[in-house]
Structure 1
Amino acid sequence: MAIVSVLQLALLGAVIWIIRSVYRRLTAKSCLDNLPSPPRKSYLFGNLPQLFSRHAWDFHKDIIRHYGPVTAVSGIFGKKVLYVFDPTALHNIVVKDQYIYEESPLFLQFNGIFFGEGLLSSLGEKHRHQRKILNPVFNINHMRHMTPIFYRITDKLRDAIAWQLKEGPEEIDMLNWMTRTALELIGQGGLGWSFDTLEKPELNPLAEHVKDLVPTVAPLFLLVRFIPFASRIGSPAFRRRVIEMFPNKLVRRALAISDALDQTSKEILRAKRAALAAGDEAVSEQIGEGKDIISVLLKAQMNASEEDKMPDNEILAHMSTFIFAGMETTSGALARILHKLSERQDIQAKLRQEITTARGDRANIPYDELVSLPYMEAVCRETLRLYVDSSYIACPLRNFHLTPLSYSPVTTLNRKTTQDIVMPLSTPVLGRDGRTITDIPLDKGTDLFIGVLGSNINPAIWGEDAEIFKPERWLSALPESLTEAHVPGVYSNLMTFLGGGRACIGFKFSQLEMKVVLSVLIQHFHFDLPDKVIYWNHAGVQYPTADRASERSELPLRVSLAKSA
């Protein structure tokens, strides 16, 4: 009886809390009330189902086209959330006042649970310290050392696809191959570890875990809201035991995925440490030849001062992050490019000609020449501009999520103000009461979405053809309106890799991976569309399906040997 009474009291308390929260939301005045705002679809979830459904593309573009660079959308219980892609506002959010516009607690704690105490779950001085230690392993000289490793992996991919074509052209799921290749690229180049020989037809078990993370967590969006509260209950061991006993198979599956990432990272770290202890010869005999990111980091750690050394729990967190982010985002971006080249045979032919000429009679194109190929760069930039999946990992909830992932291909990123602040605008907007708004006073605790896609296709700065896939735009002078806007992105006037202190630390690594893979595949194979209609689902990490209704991630393309092979 006592237990029942306690449960009843707990339930009553929860109901009272919900009623009070709803009442406060409905009666509270917001600093965003006067901004243009689309009608909300739901009293409970506001515009969130429209923003984060699989089919959210039209809603995002409707905001961009009809509501402008600062819009108020409705969140849970009607709470106003700022949707912004005004260039001056973005500069203040991600650069000038970046420590006032912080990641939300939910975002940080969610990533802390899955990936540990790494870049995705740290703030302030700790985040700056982690980046200071990691930055040297992502410099250009280190990328040059990665290039031969990337080519060896991609040559194996080429041979595997060629084997599938021994009887002639075939329809091949290129997303499967891009996923496996991306995991092996980050495995060998990032961790000095091989996950996949690219010889067997099935995915590596770890790749299966990583691919399952997003769809496993997606249906749990209501439970995810309680992470900040639950993280304060009991010890870590107690919380783990509760999760193990939780009567939901998705929760237990999410725990298994997190464990697999953690255990794999620990196994790799033990092997790396053992090789370093055995001397330079043992290191050079490892996969990656001691040039991978983790080996370089561990060597630097040996000579670093105590205050600059990174504890093992943070190293493990970075390793888990690299595995997830490096696989999901790079594979998605490569799949997007192959799909666009299948749609635009003229662009595919022009790119193949550039690659063939640059390669000549050599086995591969050297690093400096590869990264300087103008049309290759134009195709990559245009894809990353139009089809962002931001290389900046958001909270990975695929079908519906309440806060967006940090490593690009996302359309929005979430921030919360830590104090009252006035946000300036580059272009005044007309308020709902008819007054002109030149800046927006934001209260402490205001939630906002950074409109990555909105910035990348903003017609006011990119021109009237902003939504058209046109690689040639990068081969001539960019519009003056774009250069004068001073978009604060770290890469090519784009917000795809974000900017400021939380910009994607691995964007050069990702670009090199993409260019190596494309230089080999486009040289040897011709890609064409299948009979099916490929649909790209809007998500924290976008993914293709063979039609709009399908739940299965795949990219079937018609593949044949190219004449230049």
Structure 2
Amino acid sequence: MDDTTALIVTASFAGIVVLAVLARRLLLRSNFPNLPGPPAGSLLTGNVHRMRSRHSIKYRKHVTDTHGPLFKLAGPYGAEWLYIYDPKALYSITIKDQDVWGKHGALLTMIMLGPGLLSTEHHQHRKQRKMLTPVFSAAYLRNITSVFYETTHKLRDDEAMQRLGEVKDVMSILLRANMTASEKDRLAEEELIAQVSTFILAGMDTTSNATSRVLHILASKTDAQTKLPDEILEAQAGTEVSYDTLMELPFLDAVCRETLRVYAPVTTISRYAVKDTVLGLSAPIRGTDGTLISEVPVPKGTAVLCDLGACNTNAALWGPDAREWKPELFQQERWLAPLPREVEEARVPGVYSNLMTVHGGGRSCIGFKYAQLELKVVLAVLLANFRFELSDKDIVWNSAGVMYPTVGPVSKKPEMPLKVSVFRERI
């Protein structure tokens, strides 16, 4: 086939695709004719890609403010998607009817990572969680807290390396548990291998970028950065802070919760309906014809984009300043004062602090307590020894599978330069 023929074939195929998309839009009746939504955009890509693009943060805020907690999007090739941050609808997807909703893109994740927790579904997923849950228990975390401190101090000597080797790591516990499990509960070798890739991908970027976000915020909030070391140093009293004490430090906990509320490392997840279902709403929304809608029938195959960050900063629940980082609200920590009644009554299905940051139900982040400990240990060590200030570099946070910082909006290199000075000499 010569170049001219190849070009003709390619153009013809593209034309067929465009015609098929046009035909779909013109001939097929909309499944959601009365739902609001932003302009459809491109015939081929719709507007879903704008909600997931690297610089989508401002656009997402605009469309969620404009169209409310549930609206329709134009997906690729004329498909209709739903965009959701309504708590009751999220409860249905996450807990009540979780078997009705499949993980969108699970096949691609399976190809990349193998049959681990991020890619498996239904019975296989539940079987894996049952095996892995003890690895992330509070008892295990208490035993490895010292390892987190040693790692944070960059393993300054061989003794620390030796102690690290003596502590049972996650995979060794998993392997031992698998060997003693019954035949029906035992995981296949490929499932065990897949968990390694899953833990690296799911655990490393989320926690490190959450830590970076806290430090970036504190660099611009001198009052909070002054208060935190005082609390940490008082708790240290010349020794490393124990697991239980660290978990109970009130202002450190408030700073971590507020950061994970306003700046969730993972902002959206996608699902699809494996059969016809209905999504109820916490409060009615107004359709394009002016009528009120209290539930939305969802046909089989419909894809939905769940905005975890928008649920966390929903002004109807958290108040008009919901998008502002305020661990200290009205002269007292937001997270020590009683939560707003609207938050308590919303039944947000997240497993952590009425937030969707680590998701909820059977697909919630199994290692969130592990990540929480890691975050607090790193902050306790760094803030007790160093001060952080903004540099002259413009830090921009980018949307992706996990939010990440760059210098300026053009660079794609993850980095966050800050000025660092010694807060106190190491004892």
Name the TM tier (shorter chain).
over 0.9
CA change 1:289–1:414 in 2 (3 A) is same
Q: State the structure with bigger RCO (CA 8 A, min sep 6), 1 or 2.
A: 1
Post-superposition Cα deviations, 1:181-209, rounded to whole Å, max 9, x if no partner, equal: xxxxxxxxxxxxx9xx9xxxxxxxxxxxx
Q: Which amino acid aligns with 2:189?
A: D
The alignment's C-alpha RMSD in Å is 2.4
Match of 1:313 in 2: 190
1:102 pairs with 2:128: no
Q: Which amino acid aligns with 1:40?
A: A
Match of 2:273 among 409, 417, 421: 417
Post-superposition Cα deviations, 1:360-386, rounded to whole Å, max 9, x if no partner, equal: 121x10111001111111111111111
Q: Equivalents in 2 of 1:306, 1:286: separation in Å? A: 34
Q: Equivalents in 2 of 1:505, 1:524: separation in Å? A: 31
Match of 1:43 in 2: 43
**How much has 1:564 moved relative to structure 2?**
7.1
Match of 1:329 among 203, 206, 211: 206
Match of 2:66 in 1: 66
Q: Secondary structure at the match of 1:99?
A: helix
Match of 1:145 in 2: 143
8 Å CA contact retained: 1:26, 1:77: no
Match of 1:384 among 232, 252, 260: 260
Match of 2:411 among 547, 550, 553: 550
Q: Which amino acid aligns with 1:383?
A: T
Q: Which amino acid aligns with 2:135?
A: V
What aligned pairs does 1:84-103 form with structure 2 within 5 A after superposition?
84-103=84-103
Match of 1:517 among 361, 371, 378: 378
Of residues 5-14 and 521-530 in structure 1, the stretch that sits farther from structure 2 once superposed is 5-14
Q: Equivalents in 2 of 1:309, 1:286: separation in Å? A: 30
Match of 1:218 in 2: none
**How much has 1:156 moved relative to structure 2?**
1.8
8 Å CA contact retained: 2:21, 2:43: no
Match of 1:427 in 2: 283
Identity of aligned residues (%): 46
What aligned pairs does 1:217-236 form with structure 2 within 5 A after superposition?
none
Match of 1:129 in 2: 127
Match of 2:118 in 1: 120
Post-superposition Cα deviations, 1:223-282, rounded to whole Å, max 9, x if no partner, equal: xxxxxxxxxxxxxxxxxxxxxxxxxxxxxxxxxxxxxxxxxxxxxxxxxxxxxxxxxxxx
Match of 1:262 in 2: none
**How much has 1:21 moved relative to structure 2?**
4.4
Q: Secondary structure at the match of 2:322?
A: coil
8 Å CA contact retained: 2:268, 2:306: yes
Q: Which amino acid aligns with 2:137?
A: N
CA change 1:563–1:290 in 2 (3 A) is closer
Match of 2:330 in 1: none
Post-superposition Cα deviations, 1:389-416, rounded to whole Å, max 9, x if no partner, equal: xxxxxxxxxxxxxxxxxxxx12211010
Matched residues, number: 418
**How much has 1:77 moved relative to structure 2?**
3.1
1:496 pairs with 2:357: yes
Q: Equivalents in 1 of 2:406, 2:391: separation in Å? A: 12
User: 4+ residue stretches of structure 1 with deviation over 3 A?
Assistant: 4-19, 285-288
Of residues 146-155 and 72-81 in structure 1, the stretch that sits farther from structure 2 once superposed is 72-81
Q: Secondary structure at the match of 2:297?
A: strand
**How much has 1:7 moved relative to structure 2?**
12
What is the TM-score with the length of structure 2 in the denominator? Answer: 0.92
Which one has the bigger strand percentage? 2
Q: Equivalents in 2 of 1:28, 1:521: separation in Å? A: 58
Q: Equivalents in 2 of 1:36, 1:148: separation in Å? A: 52
8 Å CA contact retained: 2:69, 2:85: yes
Match of 1:561 in 2: 422
Match of 1:369 in 2: 245
Match of 1:462 in 2: 318
**How much has 1:19 moved relative to structure 2?**
3.3
Q: Equivalents in 1 of 2:204, 2:107: separation in Å? A: 22
Match of 2:399 in 1: 538
What is the TM-score with the length of structure 1 in the denominator? Answer: 0.70
